[in-house]
Amino acid sequence: MTRFEYSPATESRTIVDLKSSYGLYIDGEFVDGSGTSFKSISPATEEVLAEVAEATDADVDAAVKAARRAYEKVWAPMPGRERAKYLYRIARIIAERSRELAVLESLDNGKPIKESRDVDVPLVSQWFFYYAGWADKLGHAGLGADPKPLGVAGQIIPWNFPLMMLAWKIAPALAAGNTVVLKPAETTPLTALLFAEICQQAELPPGVVNIITGAGQTGQALVEHPDIDKIAFTGSTAVGREIARSVAGSDKKVTLELGGKAANIVFADAALDQAVEGIVNGIFFNQGHVCCAGSRLLVQESAYDEVLERLKRRMATLRLGDPLDKNTDIGAINSAEQLARIRELTAVGDAEGADRWSAPCEIPDHGFWFAPTIFTGVTQAHRIAREEIFGPVLSVLTFRTPAEAVEKANNTPYGLSAGVWTEKGSRILSMAQQLRAGVVWANTFNKFDPTSPFGGYQESGYGREGGRHGLAAYLKGSR
Amino acid sequence: MTGATASLRRTLDGLPGVDAVGLEARAASLATRSIKTTSKQWAIDLAISMVDLTTLEGSDTPGKVRALSSKALNPDPSDPSCPSAAAVCVYPDMVATVREVVGDRLHVAAVATAFPSGRAALDIKLADTQDAVEAGADEVDMVIDRGAFLAGNLDKVHDEIVAVKEAAGTAHLKVILETGELQTYDNVRRASWLAMEAGADFIKTSTGKIQPAATLPVTLLMLEAVRDYRIATGRQVGVKPAGGIRTSKDAIRYLVVVNEIAGDDWLHPDWFRFGASSLLNDLLLQRQKMITGHYSGPDYVTLD
pLDDT higher than threshold 70 for residue B160: yes
Closest residue in B to A444 (Cα) is: B22
Alpha helices in A258-401 (DSSP H): 272-284, 304-315, 336-351
Chain B touched by A14 (CB under 8 Å)? no
Question: What is the total residue count of chain B?
Answer: 304
pLDDT higher than threshold 60 for residue A1: no
The answer to whether the Cα torsion of A258, A259, A264, A265 is positive or negative is negative
Question: Least CA distance to B185: which residue of chain A?
Answer: A271
Active site residues of A: 257, 291
Give the β-pairing of A355-358 and A37-41.
unpaired
**Cβ proximity of A45 and A367 under 8 Å:** yes
Instruction: Work out the pLDDT band at B7, boundaries 50, 70, 90.
Output: confident
| Phi, psi values for residue A248, rounded to 5° | -60, 140
Distance CA A37, CA A48 (A): 13
- pLDDT, residue B296, reads 85
Of B32, B39, B43, the CB nearest to A114: B32
Average the pLDDT over A444-451 and give the result. Answer: 97
Inspect the interface and report whether the beta carbons of B38 and A7 lie closer than 8 Å: yes
A443 shares contact with chain B (CB less than 8 Å): yes
Q: What is the DSSP string of A375-422?
A: EES--TTSGGGTS---SSEEEEEEESSHHHHHHHHH-SS--SEEEEE-
Which string of b and e fits A251-264 if b means at least 16 CB within 10 Å?
A: ebbbbbbbbbbbbb
User: How far is the C-alpha of B168 from the C-alpha of B181, rounded, in Å?
Assistant: 25
DSSP letter string, A179-213: EEEEE--TT--HHHHHHHHHHHHTTPPTTSEEE--
Range B81-106 average pLDDT: 97
Q: Is the pLDDT of residue A478 over 70?
A: no
Nearest-Cα distance to chain B for A117, in Å, is: 11
Query: pLDDT-based confidence at B281, cuts 50/70/90?
Result: very high
Structural element, H or E, at residue A26: strand A24-26
Q: In whole angstroms, what is the distance from residue A139 CA to residue A147 CA?
A: 6
pLDDT interval class at A479 (50, 70, 90): very low
Confidence band for B273, pLDDT divided at 50, 70 and 90: very high
Contacts of A327 in chain B (CB under 8 A): 33-34
CB–CB of B21 and A273 under 8 A? no
For residue A143, give the DSSP letter.
S
Taking contacts as CB-CB distances below 8 angstroms, the residues of chain A near B264 are 2-4
Alpha-carbon distance A313 to nearest alpha carbon in chain B (angstroms): 9
CA distance linking residue B45 with residue B284, whole number of Å? 9
Residue type, B49: S
Q: What type of residue sits at position A123? A: L
Please state, in angstroms and rounded to a whole number, the distance separating the CA atoms of residues B285 and B139: 28
Q: For residues A280 and B99, give the distance between their C-alpha atoms in angstroms, rounded to a whole number.
A: 49
Any B CB within 8 A of A302 CB = no
CB burial of A77-100 (b: ≥16 within 10 Å; e: otherwise) equals ebebeebbebbbbbbebbbebbbb
Q: Do A277 and B22 touch (CB under 8 A)?
A: yes
Do A28 and A200 touch, CB atoms closer than 8 A? yes
Measured between alpha carbons, how far is B137 from B96 in angstroms, rounded to an integer? 8
Residue B6 confidence (pLDDT)? 84
Q: What is the pLDDT of residue A273?
A: 98
CA distance B253 to B35: 9
Overall average pLDDT of the B99-112 stretch: 97
Q: What is the four-CA torsion angle of B31, B36, B41, B43, rounded to 10 degrees?
A: -20
Nearest Cα of chain A lies from the Cα of B4 at a distance, in angstroms, of: 24
What average pLDDT score do residues A8-30 get? 96
The rounded percent of chain A whose pLDDT value lies above 70 is 99
The model's pLDDT over B27-61, given as tens digits with 9 standing for 90+, comes to 999 999 999 999 999 999 999 999 999 999 999 99
Q: Is the pLDDT of residue A119 over 80?
A: yes
**Cβ-contact B251, B47 below 8 angstroms:** yes
Scanning every residue of chain A, which has its alpha carbon at the shortest distance from the alpha carbon of B232?
A: A306
**The model's pTM:** 0.95
| pLDDT tens-digit readout, B110-119 | 999 999 999 9
- Complete DSSP assignment for B66-78: HHHHHHHH-S-TT
* Largest CA-CA distance found in chain B, in angstroms, rounded: 63
pLDDT, one tens digit per residue, over B222-257 is 999 999 999 999 999 999 999 999 999 999 999 999
Q: What is the pLDDT of residue B2?
A: 61
Chain A positions touching B35 (Cβ under 8 A) are: 6-7, 9
Average pLDDT over residues A288-297: 96
A277 vs B contacts (CB less than 8 Å): 22, 25-26
ipTM: 0.94
Find, among A49, A73, A59, A54, the residue nearest to A29 by Cα: A59
- Gyration radius of chain A over CA positions: 22
Give the residues across from A183 on adjacent strands.
A156
Specify the pLDDT at position A214.
97
Contact A240, A461 (CB under 8 A): yes
| Residue of chain B whose alpha carbon sits nearest to that of A10 | B34
pLDDT score, position B304: 75
Amino acid (1-letter code) at residue A77: P
How many CA within 13 A on the CB side of residue B188? Answer: 30
Q: Does residue A414 contact residue A459 with C-beta atoms inside 8 Å?
A: yes
| Cβ contacts of A319 on chain B, cutoff 8 Å | none
Is the pLDDT assigned to residue B3 strictly greater than 80? no
The phi and psi torsions of B173 (rounded to 5 degrees) equal -105, 120
What is residue A286's DSSP assignment?
G
Q: Label residue B244 left, alpha or beta by phi (over 0 means left) and psi (-120 to 50 means alpha).
A: left
A24 vs A457, residue with greater confidence: A24
Residue by residue, DSSP assigns chain B as: --HHHHHHHHHHHTSPP--HHHHHHHHHHHTT----HHHHHHHHHHHHHTEEEE---TT--HHHHHHHHHHHH-S-TT-TTSPPPSEEEE-GGGHHHHHHHHTTSSEEEEE-SSTTT--S-HHHHHHHHHHHHHTT-SEEEEE--HHHHHTT-HHHHHHHHHHHHHHHTTSEEEEE--HHHH-SHHHHHHHHHHHHHTT-SEEE---SSSSS---HHHHHHHHHHHHHHHHHHS---EEE-BSS--SHHHHHHHHHHIIIII-GGGSSTTTB-EEESTHHHHHHHHHHHHHHSS---GGGS---
Three-state SS for B112-141 is CCCCCCCCCCHHHHHHHHHHHHHCCCCEEE
Q: What is the mean pLDDT of chain A?
A: 96
Testing the interface with B: which of A1, A5, A7, A318 to mutate, by most B Cβ within 10 A?
A: A7
